[in-house]
């Protein structure tokens, strides 16, 4: 509901907040899919997961934005930069041959 409400408002700040939330939530679900068989053995896993998801989406904490800007964004920028530099290096090597 909050995502749909953010889309309908003229401001872009809430749009960015919810888009960031969905990006982080999606990544969390992908990681949980591959590690779920291990995580389910931890006691109180579902309670910790619930607290984490509430922290991510709560407008007062803006946890998804914090996590995105401190961890996910630098990793994605590093991956994009290294991916872009590989073809450039190969093209430079081909010209020198």
Q: Is the CB of residue 8 less than 8 Å from the CB of residue 53?
A: no
pLDDT reported for residue 59: 85
Average pLDDT over residues 89-97: 56
Average pLDDT over residues 8-36: 84
**Burial group, residue 56, by CB count within 10 angstroms (0-12, 13-18, 19+):** buried
pLDDT reported for residue 52: 93
pLDDT reported for residue 18: 81
62-75 pLDDT, tens digit each: 898 898 889 888 88
Q: Kindly report whether the global pTM for this prediction surpasses the value 0.85.
A: no
In angstroms and rounded to an integer, the radius of gyration of the C-alpha atoms of the chain is 19
d(C-alpha 97, C-alpha 53), whole Å: 53
Average pLDDT over residues 10-17: 76
Q: Is the CB of residue 6 less than 8 Å from the CB of residue 14?
A: yes
């Amino acid at each position: 509901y909050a995502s749909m409400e953010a889309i309908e408002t003229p401001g872009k700040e809430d749009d960015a907040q919810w888009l960031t939330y969905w990006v982080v939530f999606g990544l969390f679900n992908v990681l949980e899919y591959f590690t779920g068989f291990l995580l389910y053995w931890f006691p109180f896993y579902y309670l910790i997961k619930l607290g984490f998801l509430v922290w991510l989406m709560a407008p007062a904490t803006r946890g998804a934005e914090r996590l995105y800007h401190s961890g996910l964004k630098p990793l994605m920028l590093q991956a994009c930069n290294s991916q872009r530099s590989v073809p450039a290096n190969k093209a430079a090597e081909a010209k020198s041959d």
